[in-house]
Structure 1
Amino acid sequence: MSKPQRPRTVFRPLDGILLLDKPTGISSNQALQQARHLFRAAKGGHTGSLDPLATGLLPLCFGEATKIAGLLLGARKAYDAVAVLGTTTDTDDADGEVLRERPVPQGLSDADIEASLAPLRGAIRQRAPVYSALKQGGEPLYARARRGEVIEAPVREVRVDALALVARDGPRLSLHVECGSGTYIRSLVRDMGEALGCGAHVAELRRLWVEPFRQPRMYTLDALRSLRGGQGEAALDACLLPLEAGLGDFPSVHLDHEGAGRLGHGQVQQVDREPAETAVAYGPDGRALGLASVDAQGQLRPRRLFSWALPDPGPSATQIDPGA
């Protein structure tokens, strides 16, 4: 007897940003796909991976908002982490296999911990974890690591704006981190542990905010499922932020009807503002029209426009996901 098939998801055009509270135990892409199916969003993307172990803010972009996902990917972020001293793992977190156990130094003081953290602040060079999504030769490092290959993880320049010990409970240290894009909290904890001579790994990790969402109203997948089942799709859509919410930290250029039309046709035009590599062009109704640059001569050049800024964009076709 054949198994009953689940109904296919009929996707729809949908634009906006969802501030998802990612659960532990699933990848960022799995979280994205679950949310995308709940909203029936035809197009979606996330703004930088959280490890499966991690929870917290994962901004998801639907529809035209995917055009600004790269901007959010490079934003500053904040985390709370719990590090466990004395044990190192192959992934540098609790999901990995134990590589080595060492005693925590007797009489370890807060001053000792501070001394191990101080070199990890500011502009630093950091070696990424072997089990990471960074690619070498077009393949993620974690895929090669799972095959048992010997890997030399890349060393990159990152920025750590804040790294503080918040509390201690035996070998468990609660840390607060604020950092720039590309920083691995697992690597910070690994390097701290080595400086202390006993090793360490991340046991818990939660992302608190991603600029510009400093005080985010987050939604869990369970809460979204409950909303959809109890109040319907309109209640789900009310959870979305307009894509403009992700653009508030960038320079703005406000255009009149004529200027908006020229922008939509890809024309360069003179504006009265300081140079900016990335600026947001707004129409007379206050809606963002797209991303642009402004050169030293005040020339506004379109870079990436949203569909409603283009002349006669045409209807959007409903899509069906045959694998849903």
Structure 2
Amino acid sequence: MRRQIHGILLLDKPSGMTSNGALQRIKRLFCAKKAGHTGSLDPIATGMLPLCFGEATKFSQFLLDSDKAYYVVAKLGIRTTTGDTEGEIVETRPVLNVTRQAIEEAMSQFLGEIEQIPPMFSAIKVQGKPLYELARRGIEVERKPRCVKIFSLILDNFESGEIIFRVHCSKGTYIRTLVEDLGAVLGCGAHVTALRRAAVSPYGHSLMYTMPALESIAENGGINALLSCLLPVETAVQSFPAVQLSTSAAFYLRMGQPVRANFPLNSTMVRLISEDARFLGMGEVMPDGRVKPHRLLAVQDIAMDSTGT
């Protein structure tokens, strides 16, 4: 029996599973009516995959648009068709004159705003078809460069042609492409051998649950124990400034009408809070200082018993 469940689960996705496969497995475990993930991780990748249940899906775009942090292991001297270990080797080159200093100098070239050409093995759609479907058929099409931002690149280790480093980057960054481009600068090529997403803003290094842990919780504590693993919907947008609305202002806002805020706002998006400190949703600040609804909770649904049907 499917349940109305609202909240966010930070799943520690295992390697070898697609993000959608992980979502469907967790959705069945929770017997949830509605759920979605907030941006795919490659099958070889592990780590933080926020899953949104029920009303939280309305705010998944904010997590899709947020910064990410990764731990990366890359092998120098080998290029593959996919940019990681899932692909076939297309080139092997000697790793010559590559030192820690050379790697750090090469990394510095990728800091700040850069352009990336998305890999063929990606979920980007061209004429309605994902690129990876074309790539599997041996078809390569032209891809437009995308602007992304690399906030930091920190080299942790370099040994036996393998580098381990950390990345803090903007949405849309392809780590496989970053590694391939880094290998090109070093003159030897490279591919990803391991990838772990450590953080999705605003969650930082928050507690994640593995699938075995969740299955154990379900077996020993049932649905109520599982529900205790969920974060409140509001946490997805906790980095935005809050605006508390009077009861009358909240009423008109739910009717779709802009309302006047009680103080000047310096953000285009704000969290909307009721007089009794309940999260109402997100509002968009208009040029005249009023706030109009952007994404609102269906308050009646949130108030339901999450174990109901």
Cα deviation, residue 248, structure 1: 1.0
Residue in structure 2 matched with residue 230 of structure 1 by the alignment = 220
Cα deviation, residue 315, structure 1: 11
Tell me the secondary structure at the aligned position of residue 123 of structure 1. Answer: strand
Tell me how far apart the structure 1 counterparts of residues 4 and 51 of structure 2 sit (CA, whole Å): 15
Residue in structure 2 matched with residue 7 of structure 1 by the alignment = none
Deviations 1:74-131 (A, max 9, x none): 10110000000011011100111111111111x4211211222121111001111110
* Distance change (3 Å), C-alpha of 1:294 and 1:309: farther
Q: Is the 8 A contact 2:71 2:167 kept in 1?
A: yes
Cα deviation, residue 136, structure 1: 1.3
Deviations 1:148-181 (A, max 9, x none): 1122233100000011211012111001100000
Q: Is the 8 A contact 2:114 2:147 kept in 1?
A: yes
- Alignment-mate amino acid for residue 175 of structure 1: F
Q: Is the 8 A contact 2:77 2:161 kept in 1?
A: yes
Deviations 1:46-80 (A, max 9, x none): 11111000000001100000000001101011000
Runs of 4+ in 1 over 6 A off after TM superposition: 313-316
Tell which deviates more after alignment, 186-195 or 150-159. Answer: 150-159
Of the three residues 53, 56, 59, the one matched with 1:62 is 53
| 2:155 pairs with 1:165 | yes
Of the three residues 39, 46, 49, the one matched with 1:48 is 39
Q: Which runs of 5+ in 1 are unaligned?
A: 1-9, 320-324
Tell me how far apart the structure 2 counterparts of residues 115 and 298 of structure 1 sit (CA, whole Å): 46
Tell me the secondary structure at the aligned position of residue 80 of structure 1. Answer: strand
Tell me how far apart the structure 2 counterparts of residues 164 and 120 of structure 1 sit (CA, whole Å): 12
Cα deviation, residue 275, structure 1: 4.8
Of the three residues 269, 280, 292, the one matched with 1:289 is 280
Q: Is the 8 A contact 1:90 1:98 kept in 2?
A: yes
Q: Which runs of 5+ in 2 are unaligned?
A: none
Tell me the secondary structure at the aligned position of residue 300 of structure 1. Answer: strand
| 2:292 pairs with 1:306 | no
Tell me how far apart the structure 2 counterparts of residues 113 and 185 of structure 1 sit (CA, whole Å): 16
Identity over aligned pairs, percent = 44
Deviations 1:272-297 (A, max 9, x none): 23153221111122221111111232
**Cα RMSD after superposing both structures:** 2.0
Of the three residues 11, 17, 29, the one matched with 2:8 is 17
Tell me how far apart the structure 1 counterparts of residues 91 and 98 of structure 2 sit (CA, whole Å): 20
Cα deviation, residue 192, structure 1: 0.7
| 2:193 pairs with 1:203 | yes
Residue in structure 1 matched with residue 80 of structure 2 by the alignment = 89
